[in-house]
């Protein structure tokens, strides 16, 4: 089966700054194997992607891979500090033509700063992707869904309201300004309610969910395995069910991986001290196939919508997510819907091994990826 090439709105590639965890080349290879033809590279590198030069450098390093379009995400604020706006206009006018901005990893929690960012990007049809986490309700130590289990495990709680209250504020700001806001990694049923309401009002809001929030639940934290430490945290089954339903009915527009590679020495710590994040690029299609298609919630046209067409539209990538015409340099993902894959973290092309799917058997696999008319990957390896 052929799908338009997959597009990931949320990838962390770690270059520049942490090339021991991932480089643009290794992340691009993992993306190609995972069926992706475009990935948006988050700005929380070191240095941060908050200038035109930094964005162009990511673009050029991505082009050099020849495996996937690496689209630099621009920071909303300088140094992700949440105070002064980054060079949004200069990034947009650069060769990178940035339209998608995010301080991901951090929340743009100051309402005045968020308002100014939304006003600024409106001028060129840009969008702000918000990592919704009120830092007063869920501080830097917060690492487990706040509930009975977090109390029993003695882990600092990360309550759903810390996400929901920011999303509620942001959709009202978007309405007030007439601008576009995108909600990164929706994790709770309450956020789904807010997004559903906002869309019904005609507010220009879009939302994404990660593969891990569609399947994994907070119970996995009982063993204190930092592989399952992620931000926002894994939630209870009621939230997981609401996220699946929202993806199926279009309230949530897209699946985005939040691929977050970490070196062993950053992940192998006591749970509270370990880094946040999980790998996701190589397993995303199989997870979505297994939970949504085998689960009867989406057909393959629906998968094309949530993993290619909608993310391409949200990011303004005209060359992606479209149907083929004669003479096009095709971006395609060929899928074997019946293939069973057992995930082996050792087989990854990522430089990191923080893979929460290790040992799981999933139905549906990427058979091959075609980027710009050339086969880039086949059966889990680069072509
Ligand atoms: Zn985030």
Find the 132 Cα to ligand 1 centroid distance in Å.
Answer: 8
Task: Give the CB-side neighbour count of residue 162, counting CA atoms within 13 A.
Answer: 23
Question: What CA–CA distance (Å, rounded) separates 42 from 103?
Answer: 8
Find the 213 Cα to ligand 1 centroid distance in Å.
Answer: 13
Active-site pick, 103, 204, 239, 258: 258
- Supply the pLDDT for residue 328: 81
Find the 327 Cα to ligand 1 centroid distance in Å.
Answer: 38
207 band by pLDDT with thresholds 50, 70 and 90: very high
Scanning the structure block, which residue is given the tokens 């495990």?
153
| Span 364-376, pLDDT tens digits | 999 999 999 999 9
- Return the percentage of the chain with pLDDT > 70, whole number: 100
163 band by pLDDT with thresholds 50, 70 and 90: very high
- Supply the pLDDT for residue 10: 98
Mean pLDDT for the chain overall: 97
258 catalytic residue (yes or no): yes
- Supply the pLDDT for residue 329: 83
Scanning the structure block, which residue is given the tokens 């005045």?
112
Scanning the structure block, which residue is given the tokens 């085998």?
294
SS (H, E, C) 136-204: CCCCCCCCEECCHHHHHHCCCEECCHHHHHHHHHHHHHHHHHCCCEEECCCCCHHHHHHHHHHHHCCCC
- Supply the pLDDT for residue 296: 98
Q: Which residues contact 312 (CB under 8 A, 6 or more apart)?
A: 4, 7, 38, 318, 320, 321, 322
Count of beta carbons in the 10 Å neighbourhood of residue 2: 15
338 band by pLDDT with thresholds 50, 70 and 90: very high
Mean pLDDT of 310-331: 90
| Span 131-158, pLDDT tens digits | 999 999 999 999 999 999 999 999 999 9
Q: Which residues contact 227 (CB under 8 A, 6 or more apart)?
A: 267, 278, 354, 355, 356, 358
Find the 378 Cα to ligand 1 centroid distance in Å.
Answer: 30
Find the 294 Cα to ligand 1 centroid distance in Å.
Answer: 28
- Supply the pLDDT for residue 202: 98
Q: Enter the tokens of residue 236.
A: 């209870």
| Span 56-88, pLDDT tens digits | 999 999 999 999 999 999 999 999 999 999 999
Find the 312 Cα to ligand 1 centroid distance in Å.
Answer: 19
| Span 100-138, pLDDT tens digits | 999 999 999 999 999 999 999 999 999 999 999 999 999
For residues 339, 39, 59, 19, the Cα torsion angle rounded to the nearest 10 degrees is -80
265 band by pLDDT with thresholds 50, 70 and 90: confident
Strands 6-11 vs 361-371: parallel, antiparallel or unpaired = unpaired
Find the 105 Cα to ligand 1 centroid distance in Å.
Answer: 4
Find the 259 Cα to ligand 1 centroid distance in Å.
Answer: 10
Find the 41 Cα to ligand 1 centroid distance in Å.
Answer: 12
Q: Is residue 336's pLDDT more than 90?
A: yes
Find the 230 Cα to ligand 1 centroid distance in Å.
Answer: 9
Q: Is residue 22's pLDDT more than 90?
A: yes
Find the 54 Cα to ligand 1 centroid distance in Å.
Answer: 20
Q: Is residue 20's pLDDT more than 90?
A: yes
Hey, which residues does 341 pair with through a beta bridge? 362
Beta strand ranges found along the chain (DSSP E): 2-4, 6-11, 36-41, 69-72, 100-102, 127-130, 144-145, 157-158, 181-183, 205-209, 254-255, 332-342, 361-371, 374-378, 381-382
């Amino acid at each position: 089966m052929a799908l338009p090439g997959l597009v990931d709105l949320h990838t962390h590639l770690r270059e520049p700054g942490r090339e021991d965890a991932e480089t643009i080349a290794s992340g691009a290879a993992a993306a190609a194997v995972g069926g992706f033809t475009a990935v948006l590279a988050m700005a929380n590198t070191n240095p941060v992607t908050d200038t035109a030069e930094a964005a162009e450098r990511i673009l050029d390093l991505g082009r050099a891979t020849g495996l996937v379009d690496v689209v630099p995400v621009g920071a909303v604020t300088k140094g992700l500090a949440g105070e002064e706006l980054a060079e949004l206009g200069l990034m947009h006018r650069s060769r990178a033509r940035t339209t998608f901005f995010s301080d991901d990893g951090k929340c743009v929690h100051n309402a005045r700063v968020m308002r100014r960012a939304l006003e600024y990007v409106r001028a060129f049809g840009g969008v702000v992707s918000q990592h919704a986490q009120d830092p007063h309700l869920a501080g830097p130590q917060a690492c487990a869904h706040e509930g009975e289990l977090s109390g029993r495990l003695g882990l600092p709680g990360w309550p759903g309201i810390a996400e929901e209250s920011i999303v509620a504020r942001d959709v009202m700001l978007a309405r007030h300004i007439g601008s576009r806001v995108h909600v990164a990694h929706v994790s709770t049923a309450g956020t789904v309610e807010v997004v559903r309401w906002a869309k019904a009002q005609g507010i220009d809001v879009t939302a994404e969910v990660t593969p891990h929030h569609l399947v994994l639940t907070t119970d996995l934290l009982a063993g204190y395995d930092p592989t399952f430490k992620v931000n926002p945290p894994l939630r209870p089954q009621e939230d997981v069910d609401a996220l699946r339903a929202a993806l199926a009915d279009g309230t949530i527009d897209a699946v985005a991986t939040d691929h977050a590679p970490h070196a062993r020495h950053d992940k192998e710590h006591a749970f509270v001290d370990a880094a946040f994040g999980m790998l996701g690029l190589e397993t995303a299609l199989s997870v979505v196939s297994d939970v949504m298609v085998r689960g009867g919630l989406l057909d393959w046209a629906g998968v094309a919508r949530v993993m290619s067409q909608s993310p391409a539209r949200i990011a303004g990538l005209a060359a992606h997510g479209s149907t083929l015409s004669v003479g096009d340099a095709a971006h395609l993902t060929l899928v074997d819907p019946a293939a069973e894959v057992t995930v082996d973290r050792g087989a990854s092309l990522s430089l990191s091994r923080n893979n929460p799917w290790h040992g799981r058997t999933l139905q549906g696999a990427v058979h091959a990826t075609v980027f710009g008319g050339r086969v880039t990957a086949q059966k889990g390896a680069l072509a």
